[in-house]
Every structure is written in C-alpha cells, then in structure tokens.
C-alpha cells in the first residue's frame, strides 16, 4: 500500500504538466536569386508594417540594393508577424543586424557588426583517384570547400585544364590562410604556396609581392604563372558549348550565321570575371545581346560578356576593372535558349577566336631582378611549409 500511495502524487503531477507552444519561429537560409530585402521578409511571414520598418531601419546603415544571393541570413519572428531578430551576412567581415530597440517594441534599429575572426595558417594535401576523380571532389575529401578549389584552379589555370588534363595519380598540396569566424563557417584568405603534380610534371606556385607591384604567383625561378588573359571569364574551367565559327546554326533565329565568340555552359548567377585588366567601355542592354559588358584592354584588345542576368556593382563607362574582377553574372537575357555566357574578343577592331588567342598569350612579367633575393627567401620558406603533409 505504501508504494502505491507514493506513486499516486507523481502520476497526478505528470497529468497536470503543460507543454507550451513556442511563440516564435526561427528561419535560417540563403538569399534566393532575385530577392529583395522587402520580398524576402514578406515571404517569411513578417507583417507588412514590420517589413517597411525593417527596410527603413536597414537603410540607415546599409543599402538594401546590395542584398546578394546566395548570402546567408537568419530570422526570428513572432507568430503574429513581429520581428525579434534579423541578421544578413554582408561579406566575410561583417553582417547586418535588425532588431527591436527593446524587447516588445515595434520600433526597430539596425547596425553593421564586424564578425570576430582569427587568422590561422593551414596546409592540405590530396590527390585525384577513383573516389575523387575531379579537383572539386579531391579538395572536398581533404575537408575543404569549393571556394578553395576555385582559388587553386585559378592559380594554375594557365598551365592545367582542370576539365581535361587531370589524371588518376595527380597530387596537390597547398598552404593557405583560413579565417576562423565566431559562430560562422570559416572563410579563406590567400593561398601562399601550392604544388600540383600532373602526369609526372610538378608545377609550383609561390605568392610574392614585388617592392613596386601587386602580389602575383611565380614558379621557383621567379617566372610569372599569370597570363595576359585568363583562360576563361568563368572562375573555374567551364564547358564550351559552342565555338568560334563563321557559319553556325543559330538556335533561336534558326538560320546559319557567324558566331564570333565562345559560348560557355554555366548555371544562372555564376560569376563572370574580366579576363584582363582594363576599362569598361559600356554596360548595356538590348534585345539580341541582353545585358552586356564591354571592356577595353591593352594591346588593342576588347572583351565582350553577353546574356548576363545582372551587372556587377560599379559597371559603368570609364570604370577600371582588374583581371579576375567580377563584371556580372551568367544569365539568359536577349536571344538565348537558356543560361550561358557568350564571350567575344576583338583585336584592333576585328573579331578573333578567344580560345586560340588565349593559347598564344605570353606569360606575365617575372620577378624584377632587384627583388630576387627577397623572392628566394619567401620561396624557400613556402616550399618548406609544403613539405609538411605526407604526399
């Protein structure tokens, strides 16, 4: 009887337990393509008046037109559509925060907050094999992300076609900077040194800043790995879907006509970069070419980037662009059957085959003679760092 009496109160208490329904909803995701701050907040259940207040508050510290896909965001709201907390990662160094001035208030405030981070140096090695047949898969298997893959491919882009040249047994090792960020995924700084063994050929890259120049990558003898033109205007070796031709069947117009450029298959929104340093001649829209950026370079060259879904910020006549700087994003504007980039190249006013022209480009300037001692010191330290992983 004693045991039974002792059990009854516990059962009674359990029966009276009340499980409260959460009064807020939390959403985490990335900004979808084409979204605005207004549309994104409305889509996730904020009341119209709250959305207006949030956009107005954000505008005091951040231009909402700078909202970019696919940057991450986090949102907490009440079930009746009031804002508790909103964060949007502007770039690797800062985020936008919008929240009530005090708990329960309908008045909102915004601030741009630096992301705490620390710099660490890392070395990673890997290889191409049956389980990792591409550079993307090999870097992923080594525990790193696609961002590092793209950076490594860019360094060796003048020497290796990563779509066609990599073979089982190829190996790589690279030393790089990693920024460890508080409560957020890590990001990357510069690759300081890299080595790639491709079909028995070993290529090394050392990052070095000449006394009166910009940082660049050089081989062990101080020769530049950079070409006057990048291999392509897309950040990773792309897929050529249509080559330069004086007579090609146009998929939209259904007639044969010259195709004075190269078409690259790429997903909508993929970054398009300038193939060389230059000056923007125009950033325009028309029914045939869609959104198009035209850039003038040295030695009589002009490059054309067609069918873009969007222009990069600052793309206006007279603006300076650096090699590798984004000029826009892949799209299907104008006469296009789907997302792709048409890349055209002129030399002294006449159209030339970009693929052939790129292959004939000479390398960039070597390390100046007066900087060779400093380069050798950087090189020796970098190569010693690359010896760390067991290849």
In the chain, the percentage of residues whose pLDDT exceeds 90 is 65
Q: pLDDT band at residue 2, thresholds of 50, 70 and 90?
A: very low
What is the pLDDT, as a whole number, of residue 28? 94
For residue 46, the model assigns a pLDDT of 95
Report the top-level CATH class of 25-114: alpha beta
pLDDT at 14 exceeding the cut of 70: no
Domain boundaries, the chain: 25-114, 118-226, 239-359
Specify burial of residue 126 (Cβ count, 10 A radius: 0-12, 13-18, 19+). buried
Confidence (pLDDT) at 196: 96
Q: For residues 189 and 178, give the distance between their C-alpha atoms in angstroms, rounded to a whole number.
A: 6
pTM: 0.66
Q: What is the pLDDT of residues 158-170, one digit of tens each?
A: 778 776 678 999 9
When mean pLDDT is compared across 29-43, 189-203, 254-268, the lowest value belongs to 254-268
Question: Which CA distances in Å does 109 have to 62, 177, 206?
Answer: 12, 35, 46
User: What is the total residue count of the chain?
Assistant: 391
Identify the CA nearest to 344 among candidates 243, 266, 247.
243
- CATH class as words, domain 118-226: alpha beta
Q: How far apart are CA 1 and CA 191, in angstroms?
A: 76
Measured distance CA(112)–CA(136) in Å, rounded: 34
Percent over 70 (pLDDT), the chain? 89
- 53's tokens: 């207040």
The 3-state secondary structure of 291-351, one letter per residue: EEEEEECHHHEEEEEEEECEECCCCCCCCEECCCCEEEECECCCCCCCCEEEEEEEECCEE
For residue 273, the model assigns a pLDDT of 94
> What is the β-pairing status of strands 245-249 and 262-265?
unpaired
Domains 118-226 and 239-359 alike in fold: no
Asked if the model's pLDDT at residue 247 lies above 60, the reply is no
Q: Which of 1-10, 143-152, 279-288, 358-367 has the lowest mean pLDDT?
A: 1-10
* DSSP string over 19-36: -PPPSEEEEEEEPPTT--
| Cα distances (Å, whole numbers) of residue 150 to 75, 142, 209, 256 | 30, 15, 21, 36
d(CA 312, CA 280): 12
Instruction: Convert the pLDDT of each residue in 255-300 to its tens digit.
Output: 556 878 999 988 899 999 999 999 999 999 999 999 999 999 988 9
Q: Is 389 exposed, middle or buried (0-12, 13-18, 19+ CB in 10 A)?
A: middle
Q: If you average pLDDT over every residue of the chain, what do you get?
A: 88
Most confident range, picked from 139-148, 220-229, 371-380: 371-380
Give residue 5's pLDDT. 44
Check residue 202 and give its pLDDT.
93
Q: Is the pLDDT of residue 105 over 90?
A: no
pLDDT at 165: 77
d(CA 164, CA 167): 8
Decide if 177 contacts 190 (C-beta within 8 A): yes
164-194 residues labelled b (16+ CB within 10 A) or e (exposed): eebeeebbbbbbbebbebeeeeebbeebbbb
Per the model's pLDDT, the better-predicted residue between 380 and 159 turns out to be 380
Smallest CA-to-CA distance from 158 within 297, 312, 26, 324 is with 324
Q: Return the structure tokens found at 242.
A: 């249509």
Q: Which residues, in sequence order, are CB contacts of 109 under 8 Å at separation 6+?
A: 57, 98, 99, 100, 101
Instruction: Specify the pLDDT at position 179.
Output: 95
Cα 386 from Cα 377, distance rounded (Å)? 15
Please report the pLDDT score of residue 60 as a whole number. Answer: 97
Residue range 239-359 in CATH 2.30.130.40: no
Whole-angstrom Cα distance, residue 185 to residue 203?
31
pLDDT at residue 254 in the model = 52
The confidence score (pLDDT) of residue 252 equals 52
Please, which residues have CB within 8 angstroms of residue 372's CB and are 6 or more apart in sequence? Answer: 222
pLDDT tens, 114-136? 999 999 999 999 999 999 998 99
Q: What is the pLDDT of residue 3?
A: 46
Q: What is the mean pLDDT of the segment spanning 232-243?
A: 78
Q: Looking at residue 176, what is its pLDDT?
A: 96
**Cα–Cα–Cα angle for 132, 71, 172, nearest 5°?**
25
What pLDDT sits at residue 242?
A: 84
Average pLDDT (362-388) is: 91
Q: Per-residue b/e over 6-43, b at no fewer than 16 CB within 10 Å? A: eeeeeeeeeeeeeeeeeeeeeeeeebeeebebbebbee
Cα separation, 343 vs 335, in Å, equals 14
Calpha distance 73→56 (Å, rounded): 18
């Amino acid at each position: 009887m004693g045991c039974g009496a002792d059990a009854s109160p516990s059962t009674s208490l359990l029966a009276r337990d009340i499980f409260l329904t959460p009064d807020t909803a939390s959403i985490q995701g990335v900004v979808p393509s084409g979204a605005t701050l207004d549309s994104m907040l409305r889509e996730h259940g904020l009341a119209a008046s709250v959305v207006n207040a949030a956009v107005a508050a954000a505008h005091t510290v951040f231009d909402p037109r700078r909202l970019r896909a696919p940057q991450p965001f986090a949102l907490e709201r009440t079930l009746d559509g009031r804002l508790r907390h909103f964060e949007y990662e502007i770039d690797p160094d800062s985020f936008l925060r919008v929240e009530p001035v005090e708990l329960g208030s309908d008045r909102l405030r915004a601030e741009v907050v630096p992301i705490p981070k620390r710099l660490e140096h890392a070395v990673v090695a890997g290889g191409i094999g049956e389980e990792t047949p591409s550079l993307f898969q090999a870097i992923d298997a080594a525990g790193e992300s696609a961002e590092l893959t793209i950076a490594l491919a860019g360094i060796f882009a003048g020497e290796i076609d990563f779509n066609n040249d990599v073979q089982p047994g190829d190996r790589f090792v690279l030393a790089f900077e990693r920024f460890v960020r508080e409560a957020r995924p890590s990001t990357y700084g510069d690759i300081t040194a890299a080595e790639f063994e491709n079909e028995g050929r070993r290529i090394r890259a050392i990052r070095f800043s000449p006394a009166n120049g910009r940082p660049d990558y050089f081989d062990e003898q101080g020769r530049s790995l950079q070409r006057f033109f990048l291999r392509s205007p897309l950040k990773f070796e792309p897929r050529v879907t249509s080559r330069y031709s004086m007579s090609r069947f146009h998929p939209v117009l259904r007639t044969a006509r010259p195709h004075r450029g190269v078409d690259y298959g790429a997903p909508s929104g993929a970054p398009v970069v300038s193939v060389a340093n230059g000056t923007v001649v125009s950033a325009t829209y028309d029914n045939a070419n869609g959104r198009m950026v035209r850039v003038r370079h040295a030695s009589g060259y002009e490059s054309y980037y067609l069918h873009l879904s969007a222009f990069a910020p600052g793309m206006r006549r007279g603006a300076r662009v650096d090699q590798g700087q984004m000029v826009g994003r892949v799209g299907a504007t104008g006469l296009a059957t789907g997302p792709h980039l048409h890349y055209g190249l002129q030399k002294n006013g006449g159209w030339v085959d970009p693929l052939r022209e790129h292959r004939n480009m000479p390398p960039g300037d070597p390390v100046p003679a007066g900087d060779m001692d400093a380069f050798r010191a950087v090189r020796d330290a970098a190569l010693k760092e690359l010896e760390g992983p067991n290849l």
